[in-house]
Amino acid sequence: MSMLSCVPCRSVPNDHSTAIPSTTMRRAIALSGFMLFASFAHVASADTQIGGPLPPPPDQLYGDLFVAVQTAQIYPDQKTFVDATPNADPATIVQLYDAHKNDAGFSLADFVNKYFTPPSEPVITPPANQSLRDHINWLWPELTRTTTSAPPYSSLIPMPKPYVVPGGRFREGYYWDTYFTMLGLQESGHEDLVDNMLDNFAYMIDTYGHIPNGNRTYYLSRSQPPFFSYMVELAAKVEGGRVYQKYLPQMRKEYAYWMQGASATKPGDATRNVVVLPDHTVLNRYWDELDTPRDESYLEDVQTAQQATGRTPGDVYRDLRATAESGWDFSSRWFGDNMHLTTVRTTAIIPVDLNSLMFHLETTIARGCSEARDFGCVVQFIGKAAKRAEGINRYLWNSNGYYGDYDWKLAKSRDNQTPAMLYPLFAGAAWPDRAQKTANVVAGILLKPGGLTTSTYNTTQQWDAPNGWAPLHWIAIEGLTRYGRRDLATQIGTRFLADVKNVYAKEQKLVEKYVVEGSGTGGGGGGEYPLQDGFGWTNGVTLKLLDMYSPGE
């Protein structure tokens, strides 16, 4: 099968459709794209505005041209093209491509260079000899963006207020990253940016029905781990209980997004992000509306689907996209054989982190309803949270002594030991005795010289050994402290902070992930792209750890 022949239709309404269209169907899709172009013709020479119509994502805008560019790897990073802006109306560009692609001497690279402007790569040059703390505080304005409009047909979604990006190739805001970035912003006294980003996410919920993976059109088909309620709680610690009431409508709307289809789903089946187990327990999974290759990782996804034996491409693409929603893209945590991406089965897995976050969302909605004096709502959501906690402790407790994921299609626990086991402690859904057992597994298996390893498998994927990630360390520290294991929390925090300090001392930068195992620690590796500098969530967690363990530095 050629790469081009396995490109599926973009819009698939249910979880089981795996149709693979022919070239004729792809042309029909391209023609439907031209109809979309007509509806956007009035903005062809104007920027996209807040709340205005958005152009389709790049794969729909450019059709066969998109496939050709990504397949030919015109840019080393697949994300570059989908973040580029067209220099003319997309319909015109596509027509020119169709007219000339078979000409003698036609150069696709030259064509792309003529009709597209790639995203700029800002160079961040910090002053010399900054302390780690000073460097992070200096970085905040360097990573802050204001994009109240976007260039015509750009994939960027405008946001009403300034926001902080992670850095490197991540030129837009990301959902779950933002919570950990907010921790540091609040520590630095930037409560204004905390409020701005909360307002941006409230806007996204009001406008699109959910908070997408990031503010790009190609991210709209999925969300990310739902930390919005934690962001509300963070702001409320400084600004008071009114914050819970202010964002209550958006929390309820986000909850409705994640729970779509729950009442109509039969036991033993799933709809979108909802799984109803045979005993009627309702839990959540990661999912994406689409079963096509991701725009930003098109070629990688096509190659993965080609190598996955016995599976339709659509099923593979859906699971790859669902993994992107999890934020753990990619990890042995989602693999059927624990080692190979081709066995990814994320939609068959009920994740312990997602359901812990949903528990917190339910309890935070109850708090917001209390502030609004809507006591019927309080009772309703306390009841939902209680059922959720019961489901977590029934299905997401591994008999080997830790919280973990559950494969609902195989009806058995996943035997993967990862820091995700600490999410029930972080959210307060863990039973006390089980929290202690989980802590002992963390100490005995996951704790390494540089902090917590992300899994017990080394698969070359970035969310596996030997890497450690700042957000998972914060989840661990908060969760263990909540259940009285401050000793272990301190070991985890001080070891990871030492790893961050070591890399900063050598390279004067913070990075996305770190090696925490073995004799030498440092910047992490693996995954679909090179190690990224910046880096939003590392900055935020590191500031918190500095104040906890090195307040004089």
Q: Binding-site residues, please?
A: 169, 176-177, 213, 222-224, 327, 528
d(CA 295, CA 299): 9
Binding residues for substrate are 169, 176-177, 213, 222-224, 327, 528
Report the candidate in 122, 116, 29, 109 with the shortest Cα–Cα distance to residue 81. 116
Q: Which of 130, 228, 64 is nearest to 509 (CA)?
A: 130
- Euclidean distance between CA atoms 297 and 79, whole angstroms: 7
Nearest to 424 by CA among 411, 412, 442: 442
Q: Could you tell me the two tokens for 233?
A: 């709680």
Active-site residue, from 288, 301, 329, 499: 329
Extract the tokens encoding 96: 């020119």
Contact 357, 338 (CB under 8 A): no
User: Closest by alpha carbon to 407, among 505, 308, 337?
Assistant: 337
User: 329 an active-site residue?
Assistant: yes
Taking alpha carbons only, the member of 234, 71, 77 closest to residue 171 is 77
The Cα 201–Cα 375 span in angstroms is 26
Do 26 and 7 form a contact (C-beta atoms < 8 A)? Answer: yes
| Rounded CA separation 153/467 (Å) | 37
Write phi, then psi, for 73 (nearest 5 degrees). 50, 50
Cβ-contact 166, 145 below 8 angstroms: no
Q: How far is CA 269 from the centre of its chain?
A: 25
User: For residue 110, how far is the Cα from the chain centroid?
Assistant: 34
Which amino acids are annotated catalytic?
A: 329, 512
